[in-house]
Structure 1
Amino acid sequence: MRLVVVGNGMAGSRLVSEVRARDPHMRIAVFGAEPCRPYNRVLLSNVLAGSSRPEQVRLVDASWYEAHDVEAVLGATVTGIDREGGHVVTACGRREPYDLLVLATGSDAIVPPIPGVERAIPFRTLGDCERIVAAAGHARRAVVVGGGLLGVEAARGLAGRGLPVTLLHLAGHLMERQLDVEAGEVLGETLAGLGVEIRTGVSAEAVLEDGVRLAGGELVEGDLVVLACGVRPVTWPAERAGLRVRRGVVVDDELRTDDPSIFAIGECAEHDGTVYGLVAPAWEQAAVAADVIAGGKARYRGSRLVTRLKARSVELAAMGETQLGEEHAEVVRFSHRARGTYRKLVIRDGRLVGAILLGESDVVGTLTQLYDRGGPVPGDRAGLLFPGSSATPVADSPTLMPDAAKVCQCNNVTKGQIRACWEAGARDVAAVTAATRATTGCGTCRDAVEGIVDWLCEQEGVSV
């Protein structure tokens, strides 16, 4: 059986490792358009901020492919799929036969069609990130266009390097897809306190040598302009091959396209009308597709999304239906703008269907578990937001957290799995990470994993 994977990013590389874990003999070739080994795109904001080096966000060691008998063709764009002949064609003319094909082509950065946009740098790939860091070294002021998740992370990272930053956003408040109006405003106030000037409700009309011209003629000064205007699924290889495409490449519960020998996963795939833009669904899809490819009967039923902002001095988690108001759901809300704190629970039919937690909070783990499981919400609603004020237990504490509690959302790792690998000899975070992949997604669970490992060591009197 010959498996070809088109795309060697976070989805494609995970699919390859999942298939190899299930089938040691299948012939596997993976084609990556980028010339480098796969890396954790989620952690690029850390590279931009200077808290991580590029080599620290790599997902695969250089020797992994040879050790696992996988052919990796890097810097090779697949330009065509011959479904009748059963092979793919690269830009350099290579023709690779397949029995099964997986499309993991991801997304491209959206570049607005405005004059001078070539002067700006998109924030999407590791190469983009390295260009931004190099330019920041001699820039006097930066402008970030786009106030979604990536734009906020980029602005905070550049401000952390000492650059004055202006963040421009078309919508009326930041991260409007994940946050309601007040949460977006509180986030903007928090960023302003960290050195980022926020301009919402504005449209970039042109990129000039000395900044960005807004609609209406105003010039926002900056000699470094970064684009974070969203992403668009890369679907053209599938479209050229005649596969069914809407917003993404349409797949069923086995992640198959309308051609049963071709699968699609990650940001390029559309399942049940949804295109997911986060890493956890991509990795869940990779596991399901790998099971099916290896002869199993797994099914993908969709993912529950939890968005975490990874910016120094800014704590934010958002999940589910955050935009609902009192007319459609029970809403529990607390706001303390002077402290940069905003907490909101959205409850419907006695279950948590959405939440926003902005500012330092010790209840993220508890609420994430409630949302992820869809279990009933305790009657003491206020106790969920302020656990110290009631008898409501805090599941973030290792001693109170049940073994079924999910610690790493990106990789579906529970406390029980961490306990099991600790009992098998994994006595530090690095060993737990190697055994379970916990902490390798967005990285926000690292403190929780460390706390569980430390607690287990204390219980057994083990010194590390």
Structure 2
Amino acid sequence: MTRRVVVVGHGMVGARFAEEVRRRDRHGDRVQLTVFGAEMHDAYNRVLLSTVLAGGLTADSVRLRGADWAAEHRVRVRGGVSVTEIDRAARRVRCSDSSSEPYDELVLATGSRAWVPPIDGLMAEDGASLAEGVAVFRDMDDCARILRFAQPGARIAVLGGGLLGLEASRGLVGRGVRVSVLHPVSHLMERQLDAGAGAVLSGTLRRLGVDVRLGVTAKRWSPERGLECDDGSVASVDAVVVAAGVRQDTGLAERAGITVDRGVLVDDRMCTSDDRVHAIGDCVRHPGTVSGLVQPGYEQAEVLADVLTGTDPSARYRGTPVVTRLKARDIDLAAVGDALAEDPGDGSVEVLRLEDAYRGRYAKIVLRGDRLVGAIMLGVPDAAASAIQLYDSGSAAPSDRLALLLGRTLPPEQLSRGGGPVSPAQLPSTAVICRCNTVSKGRLVAAWRVGATDPAALSRATRAGTGCGSCQQAVAGICAWLNETEPSQEGAA
């Protein structure tokens, strides 16, 4: 019997869920799939919007799939239509265009929405729309609005020194905009970085042309006067970009009586308090993950696709190790695991740091026993790659801790080969190369052996490198290693 599955949300996670369902149910024999998307755009890679803002990519180039994909794969996509109500008793959703849709299983992939702090002048008089000269940075339409402000020589204030705010700031500077970042905390990215790393990052951004103002809160915005701050200063800017955080979009679930607590509560099967309603991605609260990262949503989509298609009814989501990367040009920053831990003085935790503020470098590792449980790596890409590999694999850290901080845990010839700190031959098949899409070295090797023998083909076959893009060099390195060491396709045949 075919099950009617309705997906609310056509963002990265909702689109991935549809793909995973069709990978398991190619002809639609088991699942009839309908996807609602409030945006008119086809599904696109939200992670790359900062690169669009910087001018490195066009809006069309970040689309996740071709225009004909949905029709070819028997997926009914209703773009520009929002779901406004869930009738759980009738198992039907009601929509913004007055239509309704029945379901056997409902999947909420509503994500999160930008939070606008209660600062005078940011909202228009109707209280529902943004005021003149104000934008948030969350979706493709937001990006287009910001770009209308971002003429060379324009002055823009960015409210928020977290990931999104810094990515937006770096992108705008690349377009010739004069940018000031206002952050109410004493250092940047305080959720991921300690004070030392935050200070080095501030210095790096200032050298790149970003005016960083810490411990400052905006009080009032007006296009005529500028942005008034709590320290008495006035930032003379032409526009304001708000990147002060996000809130899980749980209103639809809450109105339907589904249990919500800072996110839609789900179990390991991604099931909510209603066993016919499921949730994945940024809108959920699960003890094994944090919001704001795409990798957990993708892994949740795979689990739910297994469960709802019957491919693996026992599939369970057990959580995702946290690795955060700042995707900004000329800045290489990764924060891994419990990076904010400090030595309690009882010998249970080992914390080592190396700071080179002049060159914009900062490295911190946190170990329990010989296991790396946290790290901050800024401006040291070799060390970052080593730390992430140790964190993912759970392998014992080398006894030479200084070498680990410097990314020199292997000889120089192995450091350079394959675009990373470890030669591909040294990596186990389970090593995760693309975190966004959970692609291991083993999957890349398998795809190469069936004909994906260049980096672009490997990306198409496995999706590696199609998320944030930070692993593209590693994918190319593994491809080069395979082409050097594996038998040719003709010889293998």
- The interval holding the TM-score normalised by the smaller chain is over 0.9
Question: Mean Cα displacement is larger for which, 213-222 or 93-102?
Answer: 213-222
Per-residue deviation at 1:139?
5.6
Q: Which residue of 1 aligns with 2:18?
A: 16
Q: Which residue of 2 aligns with 1:338?
A: 358
Q: Which residue of 1 aligns with 2:256?
A: 241
| Percent identity of equivalent pairs | 50
Counterpart AA for 2:59: P
Q: Which residue of 1 aligns with 2:243?
A: 228
Given candidates 32, 36, 39, the residue that maps to 1:34 is 39
Contact 2:13 2:297 in 1 (8 A): yes
Per-residue deviation at 1:235?
0.2
Given candidates 175, 192, 204, the residue that maps to 2:218 is 204
Q: Which residue of 1 aligns with 2:422?
A: 396
Report the secondary structure of 2:423's partner residue.
coil
Distance 1:274 1:451, change over 3 A: closer
Contact 2:113 2:246 in 1 (8 A): yes
Per-residue deviation at 1:453?
1.0
Given candidates 233, 237, 249, the residue that maps to 1:218 is 233
Report the secondary structure of 2:320's partner residue.
coil
Q: Which residue of 2 aligns with 1:355?
A: 375
Counterpart AA for 1:336: D
Contact 1:139 1:224 in 2 (8 A): no
Q: Which residue of 1 aligns with 2:418?
A: none
Question: Mean Cα displacement is larger for which, 5-14 or 393-402?
Answer: 393-402
Aligned length: 463
2:410 is the alignment partner of 1:410? no
Report the secondary structure of 1:213's partner residue.
strand
Per-residue deviation at 1:224?
2.1
Q: Which residue of 2 aligns with 1:73?
A: 78
Q: Which residue of 2 aligns with 1:319?
A: 336
Per-residue deviation at 1:461?
8.2
Given candidates 256, 270, 273, the residue that maps to 1:255 is 270
Report the secondary structure of 1:362's partner residue.
helix
Q: Which residue of 1 aligns with 2:188?
A: 174
- Aligned counterparts of 1:20 and 1:387: Cα–Cα separation in 2: 41
- Aligned counterparts of 2:283 and 2:256: Cα–Cα separation in 1: 15
Per-residue deviation at 1:398?
2.2
Counterpart AA for 1:316: L
TM-score, with structure 2 as normaliser: 0.91
Q: Which residue of 2 aligns with 1:112?
A: 117
Q: Compute the RMSD of aligned alpha carbons.
A: 1.7
- Aligned counterparts of 2:409 and 2:103: Cα–Cα separation in 1: 60
Q: Which residue of 1 aligns with 2:465?
A: 439
Contact 2:17 2:302 in 1 (8 A): yes
Q: Which residue of 2 aligns with 1:186?
A: 200
- Aligned counterparts of 1:273 and 1:285: Cα–Cα separation in 2: 11
Q: Which residue of 2 aligns with 1:455?
A: 481
Per-residue deviation at 1:384?
1.4
Question: Mean Cα displacement is larger for which, 413-422 or 177-186?
Answer: 413-422
Distance 1:139 1:227, change over 3 A: farther
Counterpart AA for 1:4: V
- Aligned counterparts of 1:114 and 1:387: Cα–Cα separation in 2: 44
Report the secondary structure of 2:382's partner residue.
coil
2:156 is the alignment partner of 1:142? yes
* Unaligned residue ranges in structure 2 (runs of 5+): 123-130, 416-420
TM-score, with structure 1 as normaliser: 0.96
- Aligned counterparts of 1:382 and 1:34: Cα–Cα separation in 2: 49
Per-residue deviation at 1:380?
1.9
- Aligned counterparts of 2:157 and 2:402: Cα–Cα separation in 1: 40
* Unaligned residue ranges in structure 1 (runs of 5+): none
CA displacement, residues 64-108 of structure 1 (integer Å, 9 cap, x when unaligned): 000001100001111100000001011121110000000000000
2:455 is the alignment partner of 1:429? yes
Given candidates 62, 66, 79, the residue that maps to 1:61 is 66
Distance 1:189 1:462, change over 3 A: farther
